[in-house]
Amino acid sequence: MPDFVILNITMNDSQFSVFEAFRNEFQKKINEWSKYNDELSDLQEQAAKNGGTPSYPVQNPVCYNTALDSVTREDDIKLILIGDNPGKNEQLDENRKYLVGLAGKLGVKFFAENPELNTDFRKNVIILNKTPVHSARTEHLRWIIKNSRPEIAELIEESQKWMAKATAELHMALSEASDSEGTGTKGTDPQLWLVGYAELKGKGLFLPYRDTLLETYRNQNKEDFFKNGVFTYQHFSMNRFTIDLNDFRKQNAPDSLKQTLTDLGSLHRKEIFGV
């Protein structure tokens, strides 16, 4: 299995154009889906109340990640990281950024404590979600789907499929554009991590995302690229990512952290996607 390749380089012009196109289309989709905001906010508040979550202001029912607006041509993007959906902190007007709650802080801590990965969680990682539809807890999406009009359930499914396809295409395009300028110097070539996979199996909420993601790579004859560049892990929340990683290291022959991450991420990917 391939180990991590640590590169201290920036995006080339072709890659940044690819990223800008994705960012612009994502913003357009958020604007399109936001027509359901009034209806969604009521449902999100009710779902939180029924789920025992203390009252909080729902300010961005469909939430864009404004951290994407800070990405520049000079950035060294090492990872595209996929969480579940925006939670309470993420959707607040003062934030509108993904993984800024406790789980995000644990992600920052993990990379800071492992400098051999040469990755700053806030500078070298593009953070996306399986859907931009907010809920206080991911499981509350079930209540929203069950208690809403069919159009809302369709929105949650549509948003998953769009995010999966657009993210896979971004990942592939960034790789293809890494040396597209013929300079002999590769641009940044990120991996894709899915953190949180409980809802990607069984009767999980995110099956449309799972199936569309793999289908998009396969449709472009990129299944080998998927196997070498997409990895699946436990979520950072409740420190599950690190606990799972440490347990895996104890059960296997000691190896570099980078190789251990590759092996563990490949194992979980096979569990979820079958490849």
pLDDT of residue 80: 98
Distances (CA, A) of 215 to 128, 169, 170, 208: 19, 11, 14, 10
pLDDT digits (tens, 9 = 90+) for 244-271: 999 999 998 778 999 999 999 999 999 9
Angle at 80 between CA 77 and CA 84, to 5 degrees: 150
pLDDT of residue 180: 60
pLDDT of residue 255: 82
191-195 sheet: strands from edge to edge: 125-129, 79-83, 191-195, 230-233
> Among 78, 75, 102, 77, which Cα is nearest to 88's?
102
pLDDT digits (tens, 9 = 90+) for 165-203: 999 999 999 999 876 655 444 557 899 999 999 999 999
Residue appearing with tokens 């929203």: 144
Distance CA 240, CA 237 (A): 6
Distance CA 124, CA 127 (A): 10
Contacts with 218 (C-beta within 8 Å, 6 or more apart), sequence order: 226
pLDDT-flagged residues of the chain (< 50): 1-8, 183-185
pLDDT of residue 152: 98
**Residue-by-residue DSSP string for 9-50:** ----HHHHHHHHHHHHHHHHHHHHHGGGHHHHHHHHHHHHHH
